[in-house]
Structure formats: structure tokens, C-alpha cells
């Protein structure tokens, strides 16, 4: 074979190896993303099941329970913001 042909074949082999490695990296990323999505899905399913149980035990409708949780979350956030502001003022 001519030297030029060998260089072309070598370049093609290197390109093939490069793209194969990239494909493997992409597959690893896709697998990791699928695993994360599955974990999130399982977590959300668990939360939904717990909310349904709490709703049944309390006799509160699920929509009312979610509204109450949103309000309690906002109150907790405001309290934390106020506590942080007070701590900053004390530090000054």
C-alpha cells in the first residue's frame, strides 16, 4: 500500500475510535439521566402516596392539603428570611 493510503486508513481508524468513545460517553450520560429520572419518579410516587394517606387520615381533601402545605412552606421561608435578617443586623 502506498504511504498516503496508510495515512488515510490511520486517520479513519482514529476517527472511528474517537466517535466510538464519544458514543460511549453519550450512552453513559443517557444512562445516568435515565437513572436520575427514575429516582425522581419513584420519589414523587412515594410523596403522592404519602399525601393520599395523610389526606384520608385527616379527612382533608387532597387539594386543600396541598394548599395548606404550600402556605406552611411559605410561612417557614418567611420565618427563615426574618431570622437571617435579624442575625445579619446583630452581626453589624
DSSP letters, 28-88, are HHHHHHHHHHHHHHHHHHHHHHHHHHHHHHHT--HHHHHHHHHHHHHHHHHHHHHHHHHHH
Output the pLDDT for position 36. Answer: 92
pLDDT at 3: 62
pLDDT at residue 2, as a whole number: 59
pTM: 0.54
* Tens-digit pLDDT profile for residues 23-33: 777 888 888 88
42-78 pLDDT per residue, tens: 999 999 999 999 999 999 999 999 999 999 999 999 9
Amino acid at each position: 500500500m502506498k504511504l498516503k493510503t496508510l495515512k488515510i486508513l490511520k486517520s479513519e481508524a482514529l476517527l472511528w475510535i474517537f466517535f466510538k468513545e464519544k458514543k460511549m460517553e453519550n450512552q453513559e450520560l443517557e444512562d445516568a439521566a435515565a437513572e436520575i429520572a427514575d429516582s425522581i419518579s419513584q420519589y414523587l410516587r412515594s410523596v403522592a402516596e404519602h399525601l393520599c394517606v395523610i389526606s384520608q387520615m385527616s379527612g382533608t381533601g387532597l387539594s386543600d392539603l396541598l394548599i395548606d402545605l404550600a402556605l406552611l412552606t411559605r410561612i417557614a421561608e418567611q420565618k427563615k428570611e426574618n431570622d437571617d435578617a435579624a442575625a445579619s443586623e446583630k452581626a453589624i
